[in-house]
Structure 1
Amino acid sequence: MALHSSAEAVVQRQLAAYNAKDLEAWLATYAEDARQYELAGKLLASGHAELRARSEVRFMEPDLHAHLLQRSVMGNVVIDHEVVTRNFPEGVGTVEMVCVYVVKNGLIQTASFEIGSPKMGRLPA
């Protein structure tokens, strides 16, 4: 995938670190005061400490993996449509997500997520 902007490159590094479950590399793509939201505006996490707390348990999931379906880039805004494989209490499943990243000064400043309903089972190979 050819990267068309520095914003896209940052988001791609974030995705690679997420799939590698490398929490430190993942956090390094976010500004120290970055915020995560639901797409409707509810604050999910603010700053590295809250981002770490929200993600470190998830990064321990053995099947965690985000599969990028589509990416759109408009200046410093990157929109990813993904299917994420997760380990839910009921077993392995997937959840569809739309992720909107705003990148400034080479770091993700805000990330907003619309998260679909979990579906049990793995993505087809």
Structure 2
Amino acid sequence: MTSAVEIVQKQLEAYNNKDVQAWLSTYAKDAIQYSMEGEVLASGHNEMKQNIVIRFKEKELFAELKNRIVCEDMIIDLELITRNFPEGKGTIEMLCIYHVENDLIKKGQFKVFNKVVFGADES
């Protein structure tokens, strides 16, 4: 049996390696990803793959784990993610709550905040 922490860590490593298949393999086939506000971002592997293929095209994409809280089968990560936004390279902070069932991520909840675009006018 794989621990919830191991599955979520494998997911993070696959994300940073931009490995679509390895990333998908950490999620249940009927997994749901949604915002903290309740908006469904993706439901099932097909939708998740469509979204992540686009994200993985970003040259600078990288998620740095800042903090992790483990509550049995719920893993809460705080990540600093480097992105390539239309307006330039920058970062966002993301709160990620993963619910793990049967050695796979069944639900992911996400909250994005503190977007910074490098070199953007801060006035």
Q: Measure how far apart 1:112 and its partner are.
A: 0.2
Superposition pairs of residues 104-119 of structure 1, within 5 angstroms: 104-119=101-116
Aligned counterparts of 2:116 and 2:30: Cα–Cα separation in 1: 33
Give the residue type in structure 2 aligned to 1:84. Answer: I
Task: Give the gaps of 5 or more residues in structure 1.
Answer: none
Q: Tell me what 1:70 maps to.
A: 67
1:116 counterpart SS class: strand
- Quote the Cα distance in structure 1 between the aligned partners of 2:66 and 2:118: 18
Q: Moved runs in structure 1, 4+ residues, more than 3 A?
A: none
The 2-side partners of 1:39 and 1:11 are apart by 18
- 2:26 partner letter: T
TM-score when scaled to structure 2? Answer: 0.93
Deviates more, 1:94-103 or 1:39-48: 39-48
Q: Partners in 1 of 2:79 and 2:42 — Cα distance? A: 20
Q: For 1:16, which of 6, 13, 16 is the aligned residue?
A: 13
Aligned counterpart, 1:43: 40
Q: Which of 37-46 and 18-27 deviates more?
A: 37-46
The partner residue of 1:57 within 50, 54, 58 is: 54
Aligned length: 118
> What's the Cα RMSD here?
1.3
Distance (whole Å) between structure 2 residues aligned to residue 99 and residue 13 of structure 1: 14
Identity, in percent, stands at 48
